[in-house]
């Protein structure tokens, strides 16, 4: 009976956690899939998840670029606009306007 109560409580905790996460609509991105602008025209591959709504200002350049899976090229950890524009068409997709001003390390 004690084991049943422990299992039931564990399932309840997991269910509540999953239900709560289903209602969060945070636009958070994972490390390794996105370059964020750290200074005008310079982009760095993120090493931690981030929320662009919290860190992007309203400058003219895109806040970040996502390297598409169709382009397996290793561009390194820091790129600039000329790297992005000279890459094959469709390699990078711009996202949000502005400069990323948040942390780049976990």
Q: What's this model's pTM, rounded to 2 decimal places?
A: 0.62
pLDDT digits (tens, 9 = 90+) for 81-95: 899 999 999 999 998
- What are the structural domain ranges in the chain? 34-97
Assess contact for 60 and 101: CB atoms under 8 A: no
What gap in Å lies between CA 64 and CA 71, rounded to an integer? 17
Listed in sequence order, the DSSP H helices in the chain are 2-22, 52-55, 81-86
pLDDT for the residue numbered 96: 77
């Amino acid at each position: 009976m004690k084991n049943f109560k422990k299992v039931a409580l564990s399932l309840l905790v997991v269910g509540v956690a999953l239900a709560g996460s289903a209602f969060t609509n945070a636009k958070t991105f994972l490390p390794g899939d996105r370059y964020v602008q750290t200074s005008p025209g310079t982009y760095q591959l993120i090493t931690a998840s981030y929320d662009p709504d919290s860190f992007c200002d309203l400058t003219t350049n895109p806040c970040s670029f996502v390297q598409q899976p169709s382009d397996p090229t290793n561009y390194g950890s820091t790129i600039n606009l000329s790297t992005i524009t000279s890459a094959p068409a469709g390699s990078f997709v711009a996202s949000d306007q502005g400069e990323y001003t948040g942390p780049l390390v976990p």
